[in-house]
Structure 1
Amino acid sequence: MSANTFGHSRRGLKKTHKATIAGVAALGAAALTLSLVPGNGSTETEPQALSTGTQKVAWSYDANSAQAKALAAGLNEQQTALGLKAQQEAKAKANLAAQAKAAAEAKAAKAKAASQAKAAAKAKAAAKVKAAAKVKAQAAAKKRAAEKAAANRSVTRTPVFANNLDGWIREALFIMDKHDIPGSYSGIHRNIMRESSGNPRAINNWDINAINGIPSKGLLQVIQPTFERYHVKGTKFDLYDPVANIVAACNYAADRYGSMDNVNSAY
């Protein structure tokens, strides 16, 4: 080596030598290269030196050297790769957060929709029950009104009959009309006058029925078995009752003779 590179000359080195560090990042290895650059005639300076025994080694770095460029390029590539990786990780993290938020919002919306549907179904069921109760109440009220109207009509249409022979015959005809039992006022009156002379308590104690223990009684002289068989619902179950006696006798006459009008003698 010349005295201008290493030595103990009085003047020393004219410029600080630079050390070049080259690293190859892509290959996963690092290399350190020492390069000694001679001075260019500038003012003498005391170089930074590494003592090796009795000698000093100066370090210098040349940015334009191939090793420095390779190192810079490797570092840039590595930084770029790290930057891209960081961006990808941040993007993935953001995507996960967005997905989690969307899932939470969807879950909340679904729960809200389910709650609203449940409330709507409950309200609909309550309205249905209320409507059914209203319809039922209206039907009941309508039925009561109809029954009341019918009762009023019945009271209105039922005449008041006198408590005498004329009234008994007319009331009997009123009941007979409802049950389609034939007979006329004159036919009934004629037979009553022949059988009992209009006495509702009349009783025959001498004919064959009396001998048999079942005497004829009442306005139309009816025996008990005949009264029980031809009794008409709505009248008293009493053989001596004038209206019940007439109606039962006319019912019997209609069955046997076609009508009380056709009866002109003991029957």
Structure 2
Amino acid sequence: MQKLSKYAAALLLLAGWDAGAKDLTILVVGQSLSANSGGHRYSEPVKNLYQIDLQGRRVPAKDPLLWASGDGGSLWMPLGRKMLQAGLADSVTFMPIGKGGTSLENWLTPGSYVNGKMYRALDVAAQQKIKFDYVFFLQGSSDVGTPMKDYASRFYTLHHIIQGRLKQSGSDPAWIVARHTRCGDLFDPEVVAVQYAIGRRDNRKHYFVGPDINPVGMQYRRDRCHLNRAGQEKVADMWLHSLQEVMRRQQK
């Protein structure tokens, strides 16, 4: 990435960011919005934007991203580009392992496809000693109607599994938890409230509040649920803003 000007670096320092070199690696967990469900494929590689391939190697990123389900586009290609342009990192690497239509119970059920994929991905990360800086969590519409206590319990169980495996490769990433249940006519304010409470749970040291995807209008959605190109760009901006806030808080 082109070096920051002295003026740009000063602005970043005033905002509370370290303008020095930084390579960010991010695991993405969730359902279809976290995977390759977007209406536009970003197929042109972006300099210094990478993904983890099925063997655990860092390779140039392009849609559809390798571990995630679906054959469309992602949020993470435009987000990575925006992170690099904003000077938040010198390189960005994503490993999205999301699967469309999955509830938290699916992720925790031995023998389910997504449970097996999760363990394969975590094994690869441990074997290759991949160190993650963040986990982005974007899930919820498949849990509409789930009691609040059950949703919270399943989330923390999933967190315990993933975080325990990641520690084997020496990483203890912070989790940024999005608020999401909106898909067509589906919406569950109680699940959203739990997602928000999780993000605020430990005084901004380990969990952080992510973007609220629910208000994103139908003009940004290709099928009343998943995002079109304008929606992919808009929600990437929302993630960028959340990440900037998290980085400010981490500097305090």
Same fold per superposition (TM over 0.5): no
Q: Whose radius of gyration is greater, 1 or 2?
A: 1
| Greater strand content | 2
Q: Give the TM-score, by structure 1 length.
A: 0.21
| Greater relative CO (CA pairs within 8 A, separation 6+) | 2
| Greater helix content | 1
